[in-house]
Structure 1
Amino acid sequence: MSLRFQNNYHREIWTMVERHQPNCSDGSNWVKEGWWRIGPGESAVVYGGDVNAVNQIWYCYAYSGDGVEWRDRFQETVPHRAFEWCSNTSDTSSRTILMNEFVVSRPNHVHSFNP
């Protein structure tokens, strides 16, 4: 069982994910991690655990080198480098992004980033 991100865009993308994780060390109930580099037509496993054991609501954000972003209205703070942080964690190099919300309702879920 896993969550996989699929890049259907014609350029490489960089993506992050946020999932429910009760009692994270910073006092929040969410953990965020990234950055996966995914080439055009490729995919990456961003969560290798049992997606059915985690809250069905997940969040993600992606961007490409040509300025395209896959985003919505859910604000989060992330660094420019690879990370795995609890939701309330940030540092001086962090930036604010706007994540998409999506539902994971089956094992081996694939979430696609389309043009």
Structure 2
Amino acid sequence: MWLRFANHHGSRVWVAVGYYSPNCRDGGDWAKKGWWKIEPGQAATVLWTTNKYSTFYAEADNGSHWSGSYHTPVPLQAFDWCWNTSSTQADDVGMRLITVTNAGWPWTGTINLN
């Protein structure tokens, strides 16, 4: 399944995702990557996954954010890390769980950021 984010918000949005990645080098089974810049009215396809679960965190330039209870450190610059990886420049964010059922090829799940 492709995971796509559509920005229906009035401000630029930045998106990071978490996804199942068995045997990630930090010893866990999850990884995270970001940031995708999505202008108002635009969309970005960011991830291919065969797992029904993934997570995301999004933050708009105007301070709005979309978050959840799955906390992980993320840096301000582009990254592609295992879930437990951090740095001194990382901030803790709460990612929101996405659950997709009956996903099949070439299905795309769109998350609307309003």
Please confirm whether the aligned pair reaches a TM-score higher than 0.5, indicating the same fold.
Answer: yes
Q: CA RMSD in A?
A: 1.1
Q: Which runs of 4+ in 1 moved over 2 A?
A: none
Structure 2 residue 53 is matched with structure 1 residue 57: yes
Q: Which residue of 1 aligns with 2:41?
A: 41
Q: Which residue of 1 aligns with 2:22?
A: 22
Q: Which residue of 2 aligns with 1:2?
A: 2
Structure 2 residue 97 is matched with structure 1 residue 101: yes
**d(CA) in 2 for partners of 1:100 and 1:110?**
14
Measured after TM superposition, the shift of residue 72 of structure 1 is 1.9
Amino acid at match of 1:65: D
**d(CA) in 1 for partners of 2:42 and 2:89?**
29
State percent identity of aligned pairs.
36
For 2:10, what is the secondary structure of its paired residue? coil
Measured after TM superposition, the shift of residue 104 of structure 1 is 2.6
Q: Which residue of 2 aligns with 1:31?
A: 31
For structure 1, which segment, 105-114 or 81-90, has the greater mean C-alpha deviation from structure 2 after superposition? 105-114
For 1:61, what is the secondary structure of its paired residue? strand
* TM norm structure 1: 0.90
Q: Which runs of 5+ in 1 are unaligned?
A: none
* TM norm structure 2: 0.91
* Cα deviations by residue, 1:27-54 (Å, 9 ceiling, x for unpaired): 110010000000011100111x3x3x2x
Q: Which runs of 5+ in 2 are unaligned?
A: none
